[in-house]
Amino acid sequence: MNATESKNAFSYEDTLSFENAIGFENKYLYEQDPAFSPEMNRKKAIEVKDLNLWYGGNQALKKIYLDIPKNKIFSLIGPSGCGKSTFLRTMNRMNDMISNCRIEGKVCVDGENIYGKGIDVTGLRKRVGMVFQKANPFPMSIYENIAYGPKIHGVSKKEIPGIVEESLRCAALWDEVKDRLKEPALSLSGGQQQRLCIARTLAVKPEVILFDEPCSALDPISTGKIEELMAELKKDYTIVIVTHNMHQAARISDCAAFFLSGELIETGKTAQIFENPQDKRTEGYITGRFG
């Protein structure tokens, strides 16, 4: 497959040819690597079809088609303002909170269109959790931070201490904080706060976790810990991560998608994107010519 073909395939001018292309891409993704069994193809955590998004009159996402496989780490890369964070936020409808934001198209989580009628948005956000760029623990104790989610989702009081411990253990934070659960969460270090936020997300038992540049404010050691944690988490969760850090994307993700000016330029296995990009623009970004 040469560059021209690929460019045609992602021109999106003709839906039919595009779907062929996606089929082709998926085939590539899931069949050439032994890690992806054929049934993986059916195990899509998230399916995005013809997604368009506007902020007022300004189109921020243009005709996005993308499948995100289960139990993998999927990274979204691209220069600032390319729409990758916006795209991430469409997957748990966080963009709903922006008043002039308009969305068209389909985002299916587990086969269900989350922009369909009668969707319970709070239920959706429980299934699709999110960790933000800046660690944002609530100004409460460590324990209360974790207990917050289960509480609002009506988990009985007896179960909560168990959930708190389990979540903190999963986030590899338990040993560091087990003796000071009643202390304010803001007394933790930056890296610990970010792991606390991950634990808080785990406590509501999501299927997918969205990470919005989770390490951009952290030092290398804390970043390493979070990356290790993500590798551990993908056994049970599907992870989508937006990152500015090319090395991080290459290190931790299984698949990647490159965004530019609101368009999805290229997607595929991380190794393929980084070692053998099909699109000139991807190559340009990866090799550091812009962005």
Partner 1 sequence: MSYENRYSDELGQDPVLKKKTARRKKQELYQKTAFLLIKLSAAAAILTLIIIIGDIVLKGYPAVTIEFLTRMPVNQMTEGGILPCVIGTVELILLSLLTAVPLGVIAAVYMTEYAADGKIKCAVEEAVNTLAGTPSVIFGLFGMALFIKYIGLPQSLLTASLTMGLLIMPVIIRTTQEALLAVPKEYREASRALGATKWETIRCVILPAAYSGLITGIIISVGRAAGETAPILFTGAVYYYPKLPDSVFSPFMALSYHLYVLATESMNIELTRSLQYGTALVLLAIVFSMNLIAAGVRRHYKKKLSSN
Partner 2 sequence: MTKHSLRDFRENFMKSLFLIGGIGTLLILLLIFAFLFAESFNFFKTYDFWDFLTGTEWKPGASPEMFGLLPLLAGTAAVTVGAIIPAVPVGILSAVYISELAGPKTADILKFAVELSAGIPSVVLGFFGMIHLVPRIQSVFDLTTGQTALTGSIILAIMALPTIISVSEDAISSVPAALKQGSFALGSNHWQTIYKVILPAAVSGISAAVILGIGRAVGETMAVMMVTGNMAIIPGSDIFLSSVRTVTATIALEMGEVAKGTEHYYALFTIGAVLFVITIGINKIAEAVKRKHKQVT
Footprint on this chain of partner 2 (rule: CB under 8 A): 120, 122-123, 154
148 touches partner 1 by CB under 8 A: yes
Question: Which one of residues 44, 72, 84, 125 is an interface residue with partner 1 (CB under 8 A)?
Answer: 125
Task: State which of positions 97-116 bind partner 1 (CB under 8 A).
Answer: 97, 99
Q: Do residues 151 and 144 lie in contact, with contact meaning Cβ atoms separated by under 8 Å? A: no
**Residue 223 token pair:** 């970043």
**Owner of token pair 């399916």:** 47
Question: Which one of residues 56, 116, 123, 162 is an interface residue with partner 1 (CB under 8 A)?
Answer: 123
The least CB distance from residue 122 to partner 2, in Å, is: 7
**Residue 263 token pair:** 């368009």
> Measured from the CB atom, is 139 or 288 closer to partner 1?
139
The least CB distance from residue 290 to partner 1, in Å, is: 30
Question: Which one of residues 17, 37, 122, 189 is an interface residue with partner 1 (CB under 8 A)?
Answer: 122
Q: In what order do the strands lie in the sheet with 44-55?
A: 58-69, 44-55, 101-109, 112-113
The least CB distance from residue 149 to partner 2, in Å, is: 14
134 touches partner 1 by CB under 8 A: yes
Within 10 angstroms of residue 266's Cβ, the number of other Cβ atoms is 25
The binder of 101, among partner 1, partner 2, none, by C-beta within 5 to 8 A per type, is none
Displacement of CA 100 from its chain's centroid (Å) = 23
Question: Which one of residues 41, 59, 113, 136 is an interface residue with partner 1 (CB under 8 A)?
Answer: 136
> What secondary structure does DSSP assign to 214-275, as a single string?
TTTTS-HHHHHHHHHHHHHHTTTSEEEEE-S-HHHHHHH-SEEEEEETTEEEEEEEHHHHHH
